[in-house]
Structure 1
Amino acid sequence: MNTINYWLDELNRYEFEQMLEKPQPDKWSLGQVYMHLIDATGFFLSQVEACLQTNDHAEGEMSEVAKSMFANDEFLDKMIEGPPSNAATPQPASKEEIVRGLEMLKERILALGHSNSTNKGKTKHPGHQYFNAAEWLQYAHMHFRHHERQKGRIEVFLEG
């Protein structure tokens, strides 16, 4: 939750127009980073929900790269291209859209905290094999922190 609150607080540092500026034509704006985080985290939370509803794939293993990431509690320190769909990440229509998206994520996380599921299911990550519910939550947190680096690069551009 602190991670999402950090990103909410950071919104106050920017005028909406700044959030739409791209450092390069093929790079995301700060607004697109926020939209990506909202969309991707929504997917991760859907995976948490799925894990809590089943015992399927409970013996599934994560990839060796994922094991290292989880052990270090962070993504590798490198730029990741991601799937081709990332190129279509939209600009936000308003700051309010971003706030609504982040607040909705917080509500979903709170609801998950009230789950009394005893299921131990896992779902498959597209590149890192199988994660359980707790691992998907940790992955979401690591994903937000990973994008702090990108946010920093965009801030340098905006200040320049």
Structure 2
Amino acid sequence: MKLSELKLINSYKNELQNFSLEQLRYISEEGVWSIGQMYDHLILVAHEYLDNMEKCAILKKEQPLGKTEFGEHIYKIGGFPPIKIKLPDELNAPPNNSDSKDDLIIRMDQVILRLSQWESKVDNINTNYKVKHGGFGWLNTREWYDLVGMHFRHHLRQKGELEQRLVK
């Protein structure tokens, strides 16, 4: 992960200090997440990506298949397109909205720790050891690792929109 991405994830963590518990849990309208729910989503997805990265690292069999067309596209441009991505309903349960600020900070620290622990190892793993992503195809350790930062960057716009909706 590029330093800028670790910095980005740290800034998400540090910005948690700016919110009261009421603000973290505030839902402005039906179908719109709270800031706390967005953090919960980012943390859960980061761990899912890191779990898949770790699965790649222990594989013994190479995977000749590659990414989907959309997967190739997002890696070529280095991130998700600036659009809202609607997941299928079975993958779209609303995130948890009950964590305290301290809980979210601890959970963000766990993501940062896992990323830091893998930072120096990720490029030493066979690039043909891959695990399949539902939308992007077969990804290797480096690609799963990079996807964590891409996902955090993708949610910056949503974060800004949710902050705008807060009742000051």
How high is the TM-score relative to the length of structure 2?
Answer: 0.87
Q: Is 1:127 matched up with 2:135?
A: yes
Alignment of 1:75-94 (within 5 A): 75-84=80-89, 85-94=91-100
Q: Structure 1 stretches of 5 or more lacking a match?
A: none
Q: Is 1:23 matched up with 2:28?
A: yes
Query: RMSD of the TM alignment (CA)?
Result: 1.8
Contact 2:37 2:94 (C-alpha < 8 Å) held by counterparts: no
C-alpha distance in 2 between matches for 1:153 and 1:2: 21
Q: Structure 2 stretches of 5 or more lacking a match?
A: 1-5
Contact 1:45 1:137 (C-alpha < 8 Å) held by counterparts: yes
Instruction: Provide the identity percentage.
Output: 29
Cα-to-partner distance string for 1:107-136 (whole Å, 9 max, x where unaligned): 111222353854331000011111111111
Alignment of 1:25-44 (within 5 A): 25-44=30-49
Cα-to-partner distance string for 1:71-105 (whole Å, 9 max, x where unaligned): 11110111112243332311132011101111011
C-alpha distance in 2 between matches for 1:118 and 1:77: 31
Contact 2:65 2:138 (C-alpha < 8 Å) held by counterparts: yes
Compute the displacement of 1:58 (Å): 3.0
Compute the displacement of 1:13 (Å): 1.7
2:80 is paired with a residue whose SS is coil
Q: Is 1:13 matched up with 2:33?
A: no
1:12 is paired with a residue whose SS is helix
C-alpha distance in 2 between matches for 1:102 and 1:26: 24
Q: How many residues align?
A: 160
